[in-house]
Structure 1
């Protein structure tokens, strides 16, 4: 499997029990190249978010193999999973901000799991990250005073502030206009070039597909198309 930050082999997944048990993912195998931006597309219900949560230690791997940053997830204990999660950044369509905290304080939450560090440097990093997502003028606003797109940008800043090795993003541009969406994806690509950050993104946003290094299409839980893999993978 080489040095890929994510390697998946013969992954299957089911939901439900007994007669209601339904297979959601069928025999999925793929490698994600370091520093790349991989986008998963497909109709609603095709399994995209399920694959994302399996890769991101948010759902238990029951059948097949997922290796994340060199660690096998099937059978991994909670301390190992927690240690892996601390190296990941998550961006969800539901931004999950703390409504009682300002933009600055919400982004601070993304740093707190990584230790305290120098407070002045932390504040500078937070302000810089919020400026990068276009919210330098909204540092001390509560979520209730931000638009949907602005809330999503705070969530993106929170996910990126700790310098994660991998970013998992589920519809990160859904609440953004075209220019803002492109800005966010350009930032993720820049992290790949400059820091080697690997991004896996689920999206229905066709406006950003031209920025992806690789586009994986799922239908009914199966990989049906894989565009760009040759350019980004080195076995």
Structure 2
């Protein structure tokens, strides 16, 4: 794989179920995603975009075809390698998945603790800095129950970004955010790509942010049907 690519996919197929119930969800997908780019996956419900995201993001086993992520082949990869690789990734989901018993700061600190990055004081300082970047410097010690849906999502964004991941996988990250907050988050992801080479792959239906993408890939029935900037 060329070093300019963060992700390379070749002949990727994926199936759900078995026997007569077996159904193909991804059909012969081939694509390369450049390092530092912001790529958006679009398509109607059931088009395969989230399945593709989870396959290239080490969250689902690759059954057939090749997925190379950060120079590592995922098809047939051992679990120890996948665990190590996941530590270089950041994940943002529509369901924020915050721990309800932990404060905003503590939730973000978890993004560093899984890496064993720094001592508690450094982790707390980094978490406060990231929460400030997403506009939550006045909510550092709030529990999720006392945050709005949009604020919870911004905590989840901060948790995903605090460890400076090489690749960020985001599934509808702006769905719970107002326009200003949604645009500001995507601008931050775009800036990370420009300044640090962070690659972002995002599933979204949000037309407000499409103009910021380097590339838009549209899926239909598990196939890529449109690609604005193929590599």
Q: What secondary structure is seen at the aligned counterpart in 1 of 2:164?
A: coil
Shift of 1:113: 1.2
* Partners of 1:94 and 1:134 in 2: CA distance: 19
What is the CA deviation profile of residues 171-196 of structure 1, one whole-angstrom value per residue up to 9, with x for unaligned ones? 00000011110000000001101110
Counterpart residue number, 2:209: 208
Q: Unaligned 5+ residue runs, structure 1? A: none
Counterpart residue number, 1:163: 164
What is the TM-score normalised by the length of structure 1? 0.96
Counterpart residue number, 1:62: 63
Counterpart residue number, 2:154: 153
Shift of 1:116: 4.5
Counterpart residue number, 1:194: 195
Alignment of 1:1-235 (within 5 A): 1-3=1-3, 4-229=5-230, 233=231
* Partners of 2:216 and 2:201 in 1: CA distance: 10
Q: What secondary structure is seen at the aligned counterpart in 2 of 1:10?
A: strand
What stretches of structure 1 move > 3 A for 4+ residues in a row?
A: none
* Partners of 1:210 and 1:117 in 2: CA distance: 37
* Partners of 2:152 and 2:196 in 1: CA distance: 25
* Partners of 1:221 and 1:188 in 2: CA distance: 26
Aligned residues: 230
CA pair 32-146 structure 1, distance change in 2 beyond 3 A: same
* Partners of 2:24 and 2:207 in 1: CA distance: 28
Shift of 1:121: 2.6
What is the CA deviation profile of residues 78-126 of structure 1, one whole-angstrom value per residue up to 9, with x for unaligned ones? 0000010000000000000000000000000000011141333322211
Q: Unaligned 5+ residue runs, structure 2? A: none
What is the TM-score normalised by the length of structure 2? 0.98
